[in-house]
Amino acid sequence: MKTFLQRTFSSLRGPARTLGALHFVDSLGNGLFMAGSAVYFVTVAGLPATVVGLGLSLAGLSGFVASLVFGRMTDKAGARRLLAVLLFLLAGAYALYPAVHSPALYFPVVVLTGALEYGCGPAFGALIAELVPEGERVTARAALRSLFNAGFSAGALIAAALISLGRDTLSLLPLGNGLTFLAAAALVLKLPAGRARAADGGGRAFRVLRDVPFLGVIGSSSLLALHSAVLLAGIPLWIVRNTGLPRGLVPLILAVNTVLVVLFQVAAARGSENLDGAVRAARRSGAVSVLACAALAAGTLTGSWATGVVTLGAVLLFTLAELWQSASGFGLGFGLAPEAARGEYLGAFHLHMVIQATLGPALVTFLVIGHGATGWLALAALFAAGATAIGPTVTRARRNLPAPPPEPARTPEPARTEGSPQPQTAA
C-alpha cells in the first residue's frame, strides 16, 4: 500500500501537496452535499422534485458563462487570488441554503453556487500550471483526480449516514459543505502568490471564442466525455427500465467505477504529457467506448444472466474510457493553452465537461431508454466521431500556438590549458 501511494502521489511535492489537500477537502464537501442534495431539497427545503431538477439544470447551464468569464478573470486577477475569493463566496452561498424554502429563493441561490463552482475549474487548472513543472502537470492532475474521487466517496458515505439519522441531521449537509469551502480557501492562501497576467490578444475579450480550431477540440472532447453520462444515467436507467437485472446492481456499478479511478488514474495518464500522447489516449478512449456500446447493444438480445455479465464488462470498458479520456483532457488543456491566456483557454476547454454534464444525460437517456440496441449503436457512432475528429482538430489547434522563444546564444568557454586554475567547489 505504501508503495502504491508513493507511486500514485509522488508528483504532489511542495506546493502541489497543498493543492492535493485542498482538492481532497473540496471533494469531501461536494460528495457530502451532492449525494444528499436531492433528498435535502425535497425533505428539508420542501421543494417539489420538478423544481429541484429544473434548478440543478439551470446551475449546470450557468457553467457555460462562468467557465469563460472566470477563466478570463484568472488571467487578470491571478489564479491564487481568484480561487480563494471564489471558495470564500461558495462558503457564503451554501450558508444561504437553510433559508431556502421557496422556488423564488432556490433558483437564484442554486444558480449562484453553480456558477461559482464552475468558475473554480479554470482557476484551479491555472494554479496547477503555475506551481507544477511542465513535465509533471498531467501526472499531478491525474493524482489530484484520484484524490477527488476518494474524497467524494468519503463525503457520500457521510451523507448516507446523515440521511439515515433523520431530517435534523440532514439539514447539516449544506453547512458542512460550506465549512469545507472555508478550509479549502484557507489552504489556497498558504500557496505561494503568483503574478497576474494581462490577458493577451490585443485587448480583445474572449479571443478563445474566435479560435475555431480550439473550439473543434472542445467539440470532439465533448463527444468522448459522454462516458460520464453513460455511467451515471444511461446504464443505471437502462438496468431499471429495460432489463430484469436487480436494481442493487446500480450502486455496485458506481462503486466499482470510483474505486478503479482512484487506483488507476495516474497510471492511465502516463504518456499523455504531450499533445501527441494526449491524442492517442483520446482515441483509445473512443475505441473502448464504441466496444462497450456494441456489447450493451448485444446485451439487449440475451437473457438476464448473460446481460448482467455484459453490463459489468461494459462498465469496466467505460471506466477505462474515462481514465484515458480524462488523461487526454489534462494533456490537451495544458498543451493547447497559451501562457498569456491560460485561464481563458482552460476555462473554455472546461466547457467539454459542462456540455456533457448538462446535455449528456438527456441525450444518453433518450437514445438508450427509448431505442434499445439501436440507441446504443447510435451512441457508439458518436464516440467513433469524437475519436476520429480529435486528431485533426488538435493538429489545427496547435498551429495557432505561439512559437517558443528562441534560446539565448551561448558564449563558448575558452579552452583550458593544463595548469589553469580550476573553479572552487563549495564544501
pLDDT single digits (tens) 275-324: 999 999 999 999 999 999 999 998 777 667 778 888 889 999 999 999 99
* CA separation, residue 19 to residues 13, 127, 131 (Å): 9, 9, 9
Residues 275 and 163 in one domain: no
CA distance 128 to 139: 11
8 A C-beta contact, residue 310 and residue 295: yes
Would 175 be classed as within a structural domain? yes
Residue 6 pLDDT: 61
Residue 16 pLDDT: 85
**Cβ neighbours for 73, distance < 8 A, ≥ 6 positions apart:** 82, 119, 343
- In three-state secondary structure terms, 265 is helix
Residues 216 and 318 in one domain: yes
CA distance 180 to 172: 13
Residues 21 and 157 in one domain: yes
8 A C-beta contact, residue 94 and residue 33: yes
Residues 234 and 122 in one domain: no
Residues 32 and 108 in one domain: yes
Q: Which residue, chain included where needed, has cell 458563462?
A: 65
Q: Which residue, chain included where needed, has cell 440532514?
A: 170
Residue 202 pLDDT: 45
Residue 300 pLDDT: 72
pTM across the whole model: 0.84
Could you give phi then psi for residue 325, rounded to 5 degrees?
-65, -40
Q: End of a domain among 191, 222, 239?
A: 191
- Name the CA dihedral angle for 77, 79, 82, 85, rounded to a multiple of 10 degrees: -150
Residues 393 and 340 in one domain: yes
Would 40 be classed as within a structural domain? yes
CA distance 328 to 324: 6
* CA separation, residue 230 to residues 342, 363, 376 (Å): 31, 10, 10
Give residue 286's domain range. Answer: 211-401
Residues 40 and 89 in one domain: yes
How many helices and strands in the chain, by DSSP H and E? Answer: 18, 0
Residue 404 pLDDT: 59
Q: Pick the closest to residue 116 from 96, 97, 93 (CA basis).
A: 93
H helices of 44-136, in order, are 49-77, 79-95, 103-131
Residue 215 pLDDT: 95
Per the structure, the count of domains in the chain is 2
Residues 373 and 315 in one domain: yes
C-alpha cell read off for 60? 449546470
- Name the CA dihedral angle for 68, 74, 79, 81, rounded to a multiple of 10 degrees: -120
Exposure pattern of 222-259 as b/e (b: 16+ CB <10 Å)? Answer: bbbbbbbbbbbbbbbbbbeebbebeeebeeebbeebbe
Residues 143 and 47 in one domain: yes
Weakly modelled stretches of the chain, pLDDT under 70: 1-8, 194-205, 302-303, 403-427
Note the pLDDT tens digit of each residue in 121-160. 999 999 999 999 888 899 999 999 999 999 988 888 888 8
